Structure 1
Amino acid sequence: MADPPNRPIRTIAIDGPAGAGKSTIGLGLAKHLGFLYFDTGVMYRAVTLAALQRQIAPDDEDAVSQLAENVLIEVLPPRVDDGRQYTVRLDGQDVTWAIRRPDVDAAVSVVSAFPRVRQAMVAQQRRIARDGNLVMVGRDIGTVVMPDADLKIYLDASLEARAWRRYRELESRGTPSSYADVLTSMKQRDELDLSRATSPLRPAPDAFIVDCTHMDADETLARVIALVAEQNAARPGTQAQPAGVAVAPENDR
């Protein structure tokens, strides 16, 4: 799936912890490049929601795994003009906003850690990736789903900054919550994502680390677009920037 080094970048993996802005940046980058945008996290959220709807305990590994292997999850272009980035359907039902509920937030890391759940979802994600010209966003894209992606980005930010962003997102949608609760939930999710046995959250060795703690969405997107342009320019005759380099905000350079 990897392209020769003299061809433009066709596959981009964006990973990072919850609340770092992966969805916003991934979508903006895909629109800029004319690529397909695919947020793999919505698939795990949909499985989690399905379990909650069926009153299956999120920590019941066998039942949740069987559900993941049989449920129908569709990720489609936006079908409603309500600010959504995509339409997610679960067994034909539009669950685009339901998968962002606090109870889904609290349980999705448990569900996504189950090996059979990840195996079922990764198989679908790899099929989509084969066509190229896409920006795929998640927590194990550069390490597991697309280890040979042309460009890998790890988007990071402090826990406090990420919790504040998620709190404001929930508030803007009229979802009752508190910053303290969001902070606690996000800290627990980080711990689960970092420590799970299957596909733990971590940057790929050759990922570019972009810390957006002190950048807003527009500044972060501009930096990522510039990074893609830099790497495309480097491909014809020179090696890309050394692996694992941290990309500082422009005003810190």
Structure 2
Amino acid sequence: MTNRIKIAIDSPAAAGAGTMAKLISKNYNLAQLDTGKIYRLIAYYKIKYPNKFNLKFLKKKIYNLKISQLSNKTLLNDEIGLQASIVAKKKSIRKLVHTFQVNFAYNPPKKFNGSCLDGRDITYNIVPDADIKLFITASLKVRATRRYKELKALKKDVSFKEVLKSIKKRDENDYNRKISPLVKTRDSFLINTTNLTKRASFLKIKKIIDRKLIKNGNL
């Protein structure tokens, strides 16, 4: 790869964007950031430290944030997911996270060939000049089923109905918030994973990326 590349992915909850971002990052040696996990971590702080939770407290936490913290299984909790979509509406919090995300996207560690970020407003707000933009989606029922299975594998006591309701509520929050709502940009490739396996989804995306990288002289 001749130049460092930037890949931006937007998607609604449980569409498979996080999984795809991991596979893409591994295949092309990119520094990966699941931006939704940052909001989940903030939601976790809000629940765990209600008396300390303020902007000063958050600034310190985000400044010292290590990517490894985002792999905490606790962050997959449904209550945290719902809280994440609520804190993500706050302008002051989004500004704080925005700075961290932009720095990560444009200044990944030198051992990587570039960066790959997934979230809700990456393609137009965080990395508007990304080399490849993807919008990954799937039907509500399929997304709820995936998240339900994921939570059950973690031994979480939750019903499918609760998960479905939670994801539906998150969709409402993500698509309708006034600040950085979830939208598909005109220059984003639409990937619907409803009827695709994990491997089929990745191969479809890989084809798009390879074609673009060859065209741009990066491969």
TM-score normalised to the size of structure 1? 0.78
Residue of structure 2 equivalent to 1:246: none
Shift in Å at residue 235 of structure 1?
2.6
Equivalenced residue count is 210
Coordinate RMSD, CA, aligned: 1.9
Q: Call closer, same or farther: CA 1:67–1:190 in 2, change over 3 Å.
A: farther
1:88 and 2:69 matched: yes
Residue of structure 2 equivalent to 1:136: 117
Shift in Å at residue 232 of structure 1?
1.6
Identity %: 26
1-structure distance, mates of 2:54, 2:194: 35
TM-score normalised to the size of structure 2? 0.89
Give the 3-state SS of the residue equivalent to 1:136 in structure 2. Answer: strand
Q: Call closer, same or farther: CA 1:64–1:100 in 2, change over 3 Å.
A: farther
Amino acid in the other structure paired with 2:90: F
Give the 3-state SS of the residue equivalent to 1:215 in structure 2. Answer: coil
2-structure distance, mates of 1:153, 1:141: 10
Instruction: Structure 1 unaligned segments of length 5 or more: list them.
Output: 1-6, 57-62, 77-86, 90-94, 237-253
Q: What per-residue deviation string (whole Å, max 9, x for no partner) do you get for residues 29-71 of structure 1?
A: 0000011111111111111000000236xxxxxx654543332
Q: What per-residue deviation string (whole Å, max 9, x for no partner) do you get for residues 120-165 of structure 1?
A: 0010111111136011111111010001111100001111110000
CA contact (8 A) 1:18 1:186 kept: yes
Residue of structure 1 equivalent to 2:89: 113
2-structure distance, mates of 1:196, 1:141: 15
Amino acid in the other structure paired with 2:65: E
1-structure distance, mates of 2:172, 2:127: 24
CA contact (8 A) 1:9 1:151 kept: no
Residue of structure 2 equivalent to 1:152: 133
Q: Call closer, same or farther: CA 1:10–1:21 in 2, change over 3 Å.
A: same
Give the 3-state SS of the residue equivalent to 1:23 in structure 2. Answer: helix
1:127 and 2:103 matched: yes
Give the 3-state SS of the residue equivalent to 2:66 in structure 1. Answer: strand
Shift in Å at residue 9 of structure 1?
6.7
1:18 and 2:18 matched: no
CA contact (8 A) 1:13 1:136 kept: yes
2-structure distance, mates of 1:67, 1:203: 33
CA contact (8 A) 1:11 1:149 kept: yes
Instruction: Structure 2 unaligned segments of length 5 or more: list them.
Output: 109-113
Higher gyration radius (CA): 1
Q: Call closer, same or farther: CA 1:226–1:206 in 2, change over 3 Å.
A: same
1-structure distance, mates of 2:66, 2:27: 20
CA contact (8 A) 2:106 2:115 kept: no
Q: What per-residue deviation string (whole Å, max 9, x for no partner) do you get for residues 196-228 of structure 1?
A: 010000112211111111012111111111110
1:161 and 2:137 matched: no
Give the 3-state SS of the residue equivalent to 1:135 in structure 2. Answer: strand
2-structure distance, mates of 1:213, 1:27: 19
Give the 3-state SS of the residue equivalent to 2:135 in structure 1. Answer: strand
Amino acid in the other structure paired with 1:128: F
2-structure distance, mates of 1:25, 1:235: 22
Residue of structure 1 equivalent to 2:80: 104
1:35 and 2:30 matched: yes
Q: What per-residue deviation string (whole Å, max 9, x for no partner) do you get for residues 76-119 of structure 1?
A: 3xxxxxxxxxx216xxxxx7112111210121100111111110
Query: Whose relative contact order is higher, 1 or 2, with alpha carbons under 8 Å and at least 6 apart?
Result: 2
Shift in Å at residue 233 of structure 1?
2.5
Q: As a proportion of its length, which structure holds more helix?
A: 2
Give the 3-state SS of the residue equivalent to 1:88 in structure 2. Answer: helix
